[in-house]
Amino acid sequence: MNDVLYILMDKFELFLLILVRMSSLFVITPVFGGRNVPSYLKIAFAFFCSVILVTLLQDQSVDAVNIYSYAALILKELAIGIILGYTSYLVFSALFLAGQIIDTQIGFGMVNVLDPMHDSQIPLTGNFIYIITLLFFLMMNGHHVLLTALFKSYNVLPINSFAFNNVLYHNMLNIFFETFALGFKISIPILAASLLAEISLGILAKTVPQMNVFVVGMPLKVGVGLVTLLAMMPMFITTMDLTFDKMYSYIYLIIKSLAKG
């Protein structure tokens, strides 16, 4: 215990920079960044993780000649944590995109719910998929992988090595495109089932003109969409492992992109 206190006193500048990167990761990252996680818990967890890290990274140097250069280092560490957390959150945001597409197709487009974790209106189906994904993320120890990625980031991205560059810009664009494609792929079964339902209603309207297609169509689309969503759940769960692996690869890619050179 005395050794840890001595290290904290001797390496306080390094400890503060590590604490800033660790704390900023908890602002937006899944699991840790939710409003349902108490702020005191986030602060305490970030503090103890930083204590562990500062004992392992004593060889890291802090090149700050004055208060202004040290403030610049703090801003860099803050940006690193936020960028890494946002990269992990992008994959989960694809679920909301898929839910929005699904809700629009099955007639739930006007049915949004207030998400207290994000303080915004989100699609009903998207919230359902997000909760399931978050549960499997915890079951598969995905939060451990996020912390491991942050710990390993100091091997590739030590203190004062952050820089914006064209590689980071292009990699972030590619991640945006791939997460959008992921959300669209998740909603494809519902889109196909909804299209078949629309075709069937069109044929029905021609063969039985006296039937009110608008009255029959809405509950039919809702029923087809919910049944399809239930049928695709086993397939969706089995693909979560691949989705999380892709998220981890994104994080490590961004870590390498943030390094100078």
Query: Of 108 and 195, which is predicted with more confidence?
Result: 195
In this structure, the number of other CB atoms found within 10 A of the CB of residue 73 comes to 20
Residue 121 pLDDT: 66
Q: How far is CA 59 from CA 11, 62, 75, 163, 259, in A?
A: 10, 10, 21, 21, 18
pLDDT band with cut points at 50, 70 and 90 for residue 49? confident
Contact 16, 71 (CB under 8 A): no
Domain boundaries of the chain, sorted by first residue: 2-258
Residue 117 clears pLDDT 60, i.e. is over it: no
pLDDT band with cut points at 50, 70 and 90 for residue 119? low
Single out the residue of 100, 105, 98 nearest to residue 218, CA to CA: 105
pLDDT band with cut points at 50, 70 and 90 for residue 125? confident
Which range (7-11, 35-39, 64-68, 167-171) has the least confidence? 7-11
Residues 6+ apart with CB under 8 A from 77: 17, 18, 20, 21, 24, 159, 162
Q: What is the pLDDT of residues 220-261, one digit of tens each?
A: 777 887 888 888 877 777 777 777 778 888 888 888 877 755
User: Looking at residues 90-101, what average pLDDT do you find?
Assistant: 79
pTM for the model: 0.77
Cα 81 from Cα 24, distance rounded (Å): 5
Query: Of 3 and 183, which is predicted with more confidence?
Result: 183
Residue 134 pLDDT: 79
User: Looking at residues 139-146, what average pLDDT do you find?
Assistant: 78
Residue 206 clears pLDDT 60, i.e. is over it: yes
Which range (4-18, 104-118, 177-191) has the least confidence? 104-118
User: Looking at residues 168-175, what average pLDDT do you find?
Assistant: 83
pLDDT band with cut points at 50, 70 and 90 for residue 113? low
Residues 6+ apart with CB under 8 A from 252: 149
CA angle 91/21/172 to nearest 5° reads 35
Residue 118 pLDDT: 56
User: Looking at residues 125-153, what average pLDDT do you find?
Assistant: 78
Single out the residue of 34, 28, 234 nearest to residue 134, CA to CA: 34
Residue 89 pLDDT: 82
Residue 211 clears pLDDT 80, i.e. is over it: no
> How many residues are given for the chain?
261
Average pLDDT, the chain: 76
pLDDT band with cut points at 50, 70 and 90 for residue 98? confident
